[in-house]
Amino acid sequence: MAYEHFYKYYDLLMNDVNYEDWIQIVNQYFNTDDSLLEVGCGTGTILIQLLEKGFSIDGLDISEEMLTIAKEKISQKKVSSNLFLGDMRELESEKKANYDGVICFLDSINYLETKVDVENTFKGIYHILKPDGIFIFDIHSIHKLLTKMDGYSYNETFNSFTYLWNTFVEVFNDHSILYHELSFFIKKAKNVYVRLDEAHKQTVFNEAFYASILEKYGFKIINILYDFNNSIDKEKCDRILFVSKKCL
C-alpha cells in the first residue's frame, strides 16, 4: 500500500506510538554487529532509532514518498542507511543471504491481502536471510479488530489541518479485513479547507496460519509474544509478535 496523502502527516499522527516496545525486541534478539533489514520502514522512525543505537540496518518500503521523508530524517540525524524502494512480496528476486535479521513492525504484514501474498513474502525473507537469521514481525489480533477497531472513529485538529479516521471490520471464515477511511481537511486560508480522502485495507489471518507459513518455508518459531510479553491472556491481546529463525 502506497500512501497517497497520509505520508505527509504520518509522523505527526503516529506521535503517540510507543516505539520503544519494538526497539527493545530488536535489542533482545540482535547485536549491533548484525546486518538488519526493516521491511516496511516507512518514514524511518524505528530505523533511525536503531541506527542511533549503533545497529547496521537498511530499509525497504513500497512508498517512494515515505522513503523520501526517511532520507531527509536520516540526513538530519547524520546517520547512514541504505533505503530501497520495493515490494515485500518480491524479495525472492533479491540477492540471497544478505542479512542476519529482518524486521517488519507496526502491523505492516497485515497489508498483505491474500494468503499467496503472505507466502511470497515469507519465502522471499527466507531467501535474503543468512543461515540462522532471525525474522520478527507483528500483526493485529482478531480480538483487537472486533473489540476496538470495528466502528472506531477519531478526529483531531492541528494548526494546518484536521483529520478524521474511521475504521470498520468485515469477518470471513478464515480472515478478517480492517478498512481505514481517512479524510484530511487542509487549511488553505481563513475558513478555507481542501479535503483529501484516502482508504487503506488490512487483512488479518489467524495466528495458526502465519505460524504454518513460517514453518512451510523453513522457519522455526522461537517465540510468540502477545502485546510484547507473555504475561497477559493471549485471547485478549491487541498485537501478536512472531520471532522465527531460518533453518537450513
SS3 state at 128: helix
Q: Which of 185, 203, 221 is the last residue of a domain?
A: 203
Q: Does 137 lie in the same domain as 21?
A: yes
Q: Domain with 242 in it: what CATH number?
A: 3.40.50.150
- Counted domains in the chain: 2
Q: Does 87 lie in the same domain as 69?
A: yes
Give 188: exposed, middle or buried? Use CB within 10 Å, 0-12, 13-18, 19+.
Answer: exposed
Q: Does 15 lie in the same domain as 31?
A: yes
Are 103 and 77 in contact by the 8 Å Cβ rule? The answer is no
Q: Does 165 lie in the same domain as 57?
A: no
Domain extent, residue 133, equals 6-141+206-246
Model confidence over 61-108: pLDDT tens digits? 999 999 999 999 999 999 999 999 999 999 998 878 789 999 999 999
Q: Does 242 lie in the same domain as 184?
A: no
Q: Does 46 lie in the same domain as 165?
A: no
pTM for this structure?
0.96
Confidence of residue 232 (pLDDT cuts 50, 70, 90): confident
**What is the average pLDDT across 229-237?**
84
Q: Does 64 lie in the same domain as 90?
A: yes
Cell of 19: 516505539
Which helix (DSSP H) or strand (DSSP E) does residue 106 occupy?
none
- Please report whether residue 218 resides in a domain: yes
Q: Does 68 lie in the same domain as 106?
A: yes
Give 27: exposed, middle or buried? Use CB within 10 Å, 0-12, 13-18, 19+.
Answer: middle
- Please report whether residue 73 resides in a domain: yes
Model confidence over 137-175: pLDDT tens digits? 999 999 999 999 999 999 999 999 999 999 999 999 999
Q: Does 184 lie in the same domain as 92?
A: no
Q: Does 57 lie in the same domain as 150?
A: no
Are 246 and 133 in contact by the 8 Å Cβ rule? The answer is yes
Q: Does 213 lie in the same domain as 182?
A: no
The pLDDT score that the predictor gives to residue 233 is 85
Q: Domain with 189 in it: what CATH number?
A: 2.20.25.110
Which helix (DSSP H) or strand (DSSP E) does residue 137 occupy?
strand 129-140
- Please report whether residue 1 resides in a domain: no
Could you tell me which of 142, 147, 140, 153 has the C-alpha nearest to residue 182? Answer: 153
Q: Does 213 lie in the same domain as 163?
A: no
